[in-house]
Chains A and B, each alone.
Chain A
Amino acid sequence: MANRRCFQTLARCLRSIRTLTPISECLAPYTAPALSQTLPNYIFLNKFKVYQVPARSFCSRHSESEDDDYESGEEEDYGENEEDIADLSAEEKVKEATEIGYTVLGPLQKSDRVFKLYEPVFAVVQIGSHQFKVSNGDTIYTERLKHCDINDKLVLNKVLMLGSQAQTIIGRPVLPEAAVHAVVEEHALDAKVIIFKKKRRKNYRRTKGHRQELTKLRITDIQGIEKPENTMPLPPQTKEKEKAEKKVAMEA
């Protein structure tokens, strides 16, 4: 809003200046490059047009000046509208995905041993607009992620904080070298929510059902922080030891 106000006052000033003396006469003694150096911020903004005859030398893009264009200069750049066509190219898919906060690595192979034991390390991860405090082996339900299939490995890029039992690393706002690996488990619909609207005594009643599309991710690995070494005895070894001890006892 402040931008619009500045533009409007500037426009009004310029219009008033226009009625008095054209800028070309005032600025006649000055050369274009000298002026652009002295008055960088006021007139030479993108999409803002100045009333004067040698318009091209000052304005970066536009050649003509009109009254209407003062107002069009207030508007921001038109962002590219989202493609309505469902077929985005692979690059655009990757770009969209990274904006939301994840990268698809590829499908899970049978030989991948991705599901490890619990490690006492956590990360705060952002997907879209939601943030989760995540650890190894956790499950997360997010909004439907479009460009990944079931059993796909993902890398979640937006990591805001990492922590372990001895260390905490806080990002400003994101940690660039941290990565959280996850596997897509499910694309499903949530339970139905009934949206019921009523205005009493006005004969107005509306019922609408809604099922949100969700994706379930299982977090497999957190990278970017030192993990403590595993000092717990592994269960299979203890069982084998017990069996061996029992055998010895039987024989004896």
Chain B
Amino acid sequence: MSLRGVWQLKKLVVSFCDWGGSSRGIRAFMESELPAFIEKNPQLEVVTELNRGYHPLLKGFYKNKNERVVCVKNMTQEDVLQCASRLRNSQGRKVLKLKTRHVTKHPSVQGTWSTDLKIAN
């Protein structure tokens, strides 16, 4: 994600377990698809962490000091890649219901309409 051209995701932490079966997918992801992911995103700092005895996690650290933690236990490598892409594509803001689909600071160009408005012909 980027705000006015500035990437919002600063760091991605891939924490996995050597021994556990729930980390199989993420281990395969680290072997097969993680290098390509790192190459495509040079602005991103990717760190792999060994966390034995815990389920595998993807942690994303954003510029607005927000952390998003996604548990990827028992997922296939493609699913893990999708999760990582989602973290990279998002802005880190809190997921709220959208109020409007059009956000603007200048709603009117030709003047706001009112019932008293008279258009000169």
Residues of A within 8 A of B90 (CB): 186-189
Q: A191-B97, A218-B4 are in contact. List 20 more A-B contacts (CB 8 A).
A: A110-B5, A115-B5, A122-B109, A133-B102, A135-B109, A138-B104, A139-B102, A140-B102, A150-B1, A151-B5, A164-B110, A165-B110, A168-B110, A183-B5, A185-B1, A187-B89, A188-B89, A188-B91, A190-B95, A214-B98
* A141 beta carbon closer than 8 Å to chain B: yes
In the complex, chain A residues 167-211 whose Cβ is within 8 Å of any chain B Cβ:
168, 183, 185-191, 193
- Nearest neighbor of A190 in chain B, beta-carbon distance: B98
Q: A138-B102, A186-B89, A188-B91 are in contact. Are A163 and B110 (CB under 8 A)?
A: yes
Complex-state Cα separation, A140 to B5, whole angstroms: 16
Complex-state Cα separation, A140 to B103, whole angstroms: 6
* A30 beta carbon closer than 8 Å to chain B: no
Residues of B within 8 A of A193 (CB): 97
- CB A178 to nearest CB in B, in angstroms, measures 15
20 contacts between A and B (CB under 8 A): A108-B5, A114-B5, A120-B106, A120-B109, A132-B102, A137-B105, A139-B104, A150-B1, A151-B5, A164-B109, A165-B109, A185-B2, A185-B3, A185-B91, A187-B90, A189-B90, A191-B98, A193-B97, A214-B98, A218-B4
Q: Is B102 within 8 A of A134, CB to CB?
A: yes
Q: Is A188 within 8 A of B1, CB to CB?
A: yes
- CB B43 to nearest CB in A, in angstroms, measures 10
Residues of B within 8 A of A108 (CB): 5
Residues of B within 8 A of A165 (CB): 109-110
0/1 string, B81-113, CB within 8 A of A gives 1:
000001011110001111001111110011000
Q: A121-B109, A150-B2, A188-B1 are in contact. Are A138 and B103 (CB under 8 A)?
A: yes
- Nearest neighbor of A133 in chain B, beta-carbon distance: B102
- Nearest neighbor of A166 in chain B, beta-carbon distance: B110
Q: A108-B5, A163-B110 are in contact. Are A186 and B105 (CB under 8 A)?
A: no
| Range, interface on chain B | 20 to 34
On chain A, the number of residues with a Cβ less than 8 Å from chain B's Cβ atoms is 37
Complex-state Cα separation, A130 to B2, whole angstroms: 24
- Nearest neighbor of B111 in chain A, beta-carbon distance: A165
Q: Is A141 within 8 A of B101, CB to CB?
A: yes
- CB A86 to nearest CB in B, in angstroms, measures 11
State which of B89, B96, B98, B106 has its C-beta within 8 Å of the C-beta of A141.
Answer: B98
0/1 string, A151-168, CB within 8 A of B gives 1:
100000000000111001
